[in-house]
Amino acid sequence: MQTEADVLIIGAGLAGLVAATELTAAGKRVLLLDQEPEQNLGGQAFWSFGGLFLVDSPEQRRMRIHDSYELALSDWLGNADFDRPEDVWPRRWAEAYVGWAAGEKRSWLQQMGIKLFPVVGWAERGGYGARGPGNSVPRFHVAWGTGTGVVAPFSYRVREAAKKGLLTFKFRHRVTELLLQHGAVVGARGEVLEPSAAERGAATSRVVVGDFRFRAPAVIVTAGGLGANHDLVRKNWPARLGPPPRHMLSGVPEHVDGLMLGITQAAGGHVINEDRMWHYVEGVHNWNPIWPRHGIRILPGPSSLWLDARGHRLPGPLYPGFDTLGTLQHLRQTGYDYSWFILTQKIIRHEFALSGSEQNPDLTNKSWRQTLGRAFGKGAPAPVEAFKQHGVDFLVRDTLPELVRAMNELTGEALLDYAQVEAEIRARDGQLDNPFSKDAQITAIRGARNYIGDKLIRTAPPHKLLDPSKGPLIAVRLHVITRKSLGGLETDLSGRVLGPDGQPIPGLYAAGEIAGFGGGGMHGYRALEGTFLGGCLYSGRIAGLAVAAALP
């Protein structure tokens, strides 16, 4: 069988594009395979908000944020809670990644052509103490251009490499098997799917029109996660989080199916930490969907009142934006697949953002005029207002009795008792009569506004929910929305896939989400946010450089 290239890369998402960029820059010939059509180049990273985790950056320092490698690593390890024998490589990857985020990451991003929005966000704020989960300081840097802007420089570079004859695209090529020879991976075979003109992100045909068999001395698997495969999500769902939801939304396109995990495992790759995953509880149905079960995650500020399906307030520190996994675990014990935000027009105007490049046209289109409107405009951003007007999960009413009645009508379950909801809101509002409070969420809101970034664009001035001048009242029904698998193929610090015996499988590498963003799960149990795109960038680069160095 003829050798078609120096390297096969399976998956044309962000990690695959970064690996291909490094390889072609080193003069290596690359064959880039993907089951989707060309219009999906860049994969799910294209749709992301573009958050990037950086440590002690100029952007942080300009906002008077004091950060360091030591503090970031302490936060990461407190978040990850590595506690398994197989966490050896994930921990090493975590230490290396935090070092990169505190070191050359920003200059490398600039070299690639990626710029950053100047206001640093504060995600995953924790609330359990200094050694517990969460970011001690704001570290969430948004790429200017969002995920689309992150993908663009690498898309450009691989297309230029293709013009030079160093890279060949093979779209609509679905791998079904990795080829082995004398214990080494030497290529891949699979099925050619019929062409598709479906728009980016839309589900595509699975009609097979041919087959293929390609050979190369090295294979890099960068096929992504499993977030759209709800059966596989439920199969891997850990008992510690309670029962898996009966109803979930998809935060990723339908082709994010996780099938390459099993295919690589069949070739000897060791999959670890399958039960570690990262799904959100602030998902809403996309009123203008692109893919099946398309959900959008609300990126909330800290002020909305969070109630479970029966109208009970969530305990501290499970406030909006503080602890994703803890909130998921709590809500899975309630017996219901949804919860509620109650807020005001003033809160939605200041605090609601929506995850996704298409939901942030100001940042995606790099428009300073539109972005300033986000901070100083009179209304909520246009995409948020569109969800408020058209989204099935959004309810707007002038009075609380009307709102609670509409909430019960929306679910058809009549679980909410008006007196219970009113008591929760009036108790909360009563804590605003003084500049001090025993309510930890009120204290957290006031604390957030001590940070200039939150005060400018992420946290509304504290006010009573039942103050009619701040209305109307808004309720948002929230669903679990799938997003990331944190476990995956175990890899060493060169991106080589390891077998169950801990030894590298010759010729086989992995990067991106399918490798748990490095090592088979460098996040451990929880993510500090801004670390998924960065994990694809870092692991893709590492794998590309390692393969280039290993080839003659």
CB atoms within 10 A of CB 293: 19
Sign of the alpha-carbon dihedral angle for 393, 480, 456, 535: negative
pLDDT (0 to 100) of residue 118 = 95
Q: What angle do CA 203, 204, 205 make, to 5 degrees?
A: 135
Helix 88-102 to helix 105-112 angle (10° resolution) is 70
CA–CA separation, 374 and 410 (whole Å): 30
Q: What is the pLDDT of residues 141-179, one digit of tens each?
A: 999 999 999 999 999 999 999 999 999 999 999 999 999
Q: How far is CA 500 from CA 92, 222, 505, 521, in A?
A: 18, 20, 10, 16
- Beta 218-221 vs 504-510: how paired, if at all? parallel
Q: What angle do CA 502, 86, 533 make, to 5 degrees?
A: 100
3-state SS of 380-398? Answer: CCHHHHHHHHHCCCEEEEC
Q: What is the DSSP string of 96-148?
A: HHHHHHHTTHHHHHHHHT--B-SSPB------S-TTSSS-SS--EEEBTTHHH
pLDDT (0 to 100) of residue 22 = 98
Among residues 123, 165, 121, the alpha carbon closest in space to that of 143 is found at: 121
CA–CA separation, 223 and 516 (whole Å): 12
Q: Please, what are the domains in the chain?
A: 7-223+486-550 (3.50.50.60), 281-481 (no CATH)
Tokens 């004859």 sit on residue? 165
Encoding tokens for residue 185? 């991976």
Among residues 108, 104, 99, 106, the alpha carbon closest in space to that of 68 is found at: 99
DSSP, res 2: -
CA–CA separation, 549 and 401 (whole Å): 67
- Are 440 and 125 contacting, i.e. CB atoms less than 8 angstroms apart? no
Q: What angle do CA 51, 56, 57 make, to 5 degrees?
A: 60
Helix 14-25 to helix 532-550 angle (10° resolution) is 30
Tokens 């692109």 sit on residue? 290
Amino acid, res. 371: T
Neighbouring-strand partners of residue 13: 42
Encoding tokens for residue 486? 């944190």
Q: What is the pLDDT of residues 206-257, one digit of tens each?
A: 999 999 999 999 999 999 999 999 999 999 999 999 999 999 999 999 999 9
Q: Is 460 helix (H, G, I), strand (E, B) or coil?
A: coil
- Beta 249-250 vs 473-485: how paired, if at all? parallel
- Are 514 and 43 contacting, i.e. CB atoms less than 8 angstroms apart? no
- Are 310 and 413 contacting, i.e. CB atoms less than 8 angstroms apart? no
- CA dihedral (536, 537, 538, 539) in degrees, to 10, reads 40
Please give the model's pTM, rounded to 2 decimal places.
Answer: 0.96
CA–CA separation, 284 and 270 (whole Å): 35
The tens-digit pLDDT sequence of the chain (552 residues) is: 567 899 999 999 999 999 999 999 999 999 999 999 999 999 999 999 999 999 999 999 999 999 999 999 999 999 999 999 999 999 999 999 999 999 999 999 999 999 999 999 999 999 999 989 999 999 999 999 999 999 999 999 999 999 999 999 999 999 999 999 999 999 999 999 999 999 999 999 999 999 999 999 999 999 999 999 999 999 999 999 999 999 999 999 999 999 999 999 999 999 999 999 999 999 999 999 999 999 999 999 999 999 999 999 999 999 999 999 999 999 999 999 999 999 999 999 999 989 988 898 888 888 887 777 666 666 778 899 999 999 999 999 999 999 999 999 999 999 999 999 999 999 999 999 999 999 999 999 999 999 999 998 889 999 999 999 999 999 999 999 999 999 999 999 999 999 999 999 999 999 999 999 999 999 999 999 999 999 999 999 999 999 999 999
